Amino acid sequence: MIILPAIDLKDGQCVRLFQGDYATAEQVADDPVETAKGFEDADARWIHIVDLDGAKARRPVNDATIFSIRKNTTLNMEVGGGIRDMESVEYYLSRGVNRVILGSAALQDPAFVREAVRQYGKRIAVGIDARDGKVAAEGWTAQSEMDYLDMARQMEQIGVRYLIFTDIAKDGTMAGPNLVMLDKINRAVSCSIIASGGVSNLKDIVDLNNLGLYGAIAGKAIYTKALDLRAAVTACQHLSGNTLKVREEIEDHLERYFMKSDLIPAIVQEASTGEVLMLAYMNRESMVKTLETGYTWFYSRSRQTLWNKGATSGHVQKVLNIIADCDDDTLLIKVVQTGPACHTGSHSCFFKEIV
């Protein structure tokens, strides 16, 4: 899991809000660029920036400050706030921003998100901000009737790979993240989930990592020094190291699965329904890549090369569990399936009834 320290910009200043209320804006640092440099010095690799003025104005407002941060640091940047059209998307991405976040626009205009994803792929993220389980918009000043899980599934179907989820009730409170809602959204979709809101200490970081999330945003806790950013980054590296150690141990024992053949059949099953989706084959390398990425990789016997399920169609399979049979020569892979599993458009490859 990665840590993304946050800068919220209002009137060119670093501020924090309480539960998304603009009236509670409090300046928390003197200079955004120097603040970002401090994050970089603490070994952060990413930074999360929100243009609060832009969110209300429906267009980029603090873009000059954002580009100054881009010029003066080597941090990877994800930026949100006021990005409502393809011109704004291109404006940021062509000037060195690594990922843009679509929020209100994603709720109001899914076709725009689809076009952005078509052009820019994984450089598009969607922010889902929820109050009482319903998605909020317009800088959290407007409330919709869209359930946050329904919104997540809709974005997954469009092809969005990164979702940033905020429980507004937790934002700026340092009361701990909403682990229940985060666990639900992470299990509901194959997208990489970034948690936002409520992070207050290292235990929260460990708890979020244990959910298997992609990332965690920390803001107020860093500014109040309740959370030491360098310690949080180090903790994530340590936790990832433990995961890698486990994977290395698995790799050391891969030979047991390939004693009879260099290829092993893999049955793919939808975790939520138990439906068998497809049968494919794995070699050692594809099995390792599946373990490393968390998404299915297979070996094509006809093309004699590795292939990543959904690489071209977007119909990816997020791996939840891999189980070997009693003879260690067949795998059962339980997944969260995005879209149809079969190239024919059928949800499952098994649809031709014989008897």
Tokens of 61: 């407002």
pLDDT digits (tens, 9 = 90+) for 61-78: 999 999 999 999 999 999
Question: Is residue 300 predicted with pLDDT exceeding 80?
Answer: yes
Catalytic site residue from 53, 129, 171, 204: 129
Matching residue, tokens 């399979």: 317
The dihedral sign for the CA sequence 68, 166, 193, 54: negative
Nearest to 197 by CA among 180, 221, 214: 221
323-326 contacts at long range (C-beta below 8 A, 24 or more positions apart): 324/257
pLDDT of 20: 61
Active site residue 147: no
DSSP tag of 255: G
Q: Provide the 3-class DSSP secondary structure of residue 38.
A: helix
pLDDT, tens digit, 9 for 90 and up, residues 93-112: 999 999 999 987 888 899 99
Across-strand partners of 308? 297
Question: Is a pLDDT exceeding 60 seen at residue 243?
Answer: no
The mean pLDDT value for 193-198 works out to 92
Supply the pLDDT for residue 168: 83
pLDDT tops 60 at residue 81: yes
Report how far apart, in Å, the C-alpha atoms of 146 and of each of 16, 78, 299, 300 are.
26, 25, 40, 41
Q: Which two tokens stand for residue 316?
A: 């990816």
Between residues 19 and 268, which one has the greater pLDDT? 268
Q: Which two tokens stand for residue 262?
A: 């260099």
pLDDT at residue 25 tops 60: yes
Q: What is the mean pLDDT of residues 257-266?
A: 88
Instruction: Please give the average per-residue pLDDT across 15-25, as a whole number.
Output: 73
Rg (CA), the chain: 21
Place of tokens 């009361």: 175
| Helix-strand-coil split of the chain, %, nearest 5 | 35, 30, 35
Tokens 């965690």 found at: 216
- Position 327 pLDDT exceeds 90: no
Backbone angle region of 181, left / alpha / beta, with phi > 0 → left and psi within -120 to 50 → alpha:
alpha
**Residue 170 above 90 pLDDT?**
no
**Predicted pLDDT of residue 340:** 94
Residue type, 217: I
Measured over the CA atoms of residue 210, residue 216, residue 221 and residue 227, the dihedral's sign is: positive
**What is the 3-state secondary structure of 301-319?**
CCCCEEEECCCCCCCCEEE
Beta carbons of 214 and 237 less than 8 angstroms apart: no
Confidence of residue 246 (pLDDT cuts 50, 70, 90): very low
Rounded mean pLDDT, 169-180: 77
**Tally of CA atoms within 13 A in the half-sphere of 198 that contains its CB:** 21
Instruction: Name the 3-class secondary structure at 336.
Output: strand
**Cα dihedral 8, 10, 11, 14 sign:** negative
For residue 129, indicate whether it is catalytic.
yes
Q: What is the pLDDT of residues 276-288, one digit of tens each?
A: 999 999 998 898 8
For 120-161, the pLDDT digits (tens) are 998 999 999 888 888 886 655 567 678 999 999 999 999 999
Cα distances (angstroms) measured from residue 66 to each of 78, 80, 125: 10, 11, 17
Distance (Å, whole) CA 271 – CA 36: 41
What per-residue confidence (pLDDT) applies to 140? 57
The residue whose two tokens read 């244990």 is 210
Indicate the range of 79-88, 134-143, 179-188 predicted with least confidence.
134-143
Greater confidence (17 vs 152) lies with: 152
The pLDDT assigned to 154 comes to: 94
Higher per-residue confidence, 41 vs 236:
41
Share of the chain above pLDDT 70, in %: 92
Which residues have a Cβ under 8 Å from the Cβ of 346 and sit 6 or more positions away? 340
Mean pLDDT taken over the chain: 88
pLDDT at residue 252 greater than cutoff 80 = no
Token pair of 279 as six digits:
């049968």
- For residues 292 and 100, what is the distance between their CA atoms, to the nearest angstrom? 25
Of 27-41, 176-190, 236-250, which range is least confident? 236-250
Report yes or no: 200 and 147 within 8 Å, Cβ to Cβ: no
**117 near 143, Cβ under 8 Å?**
no
Residue 250 has pLDDT above 70, yes or no: no
Res 145: pLDDT: 75
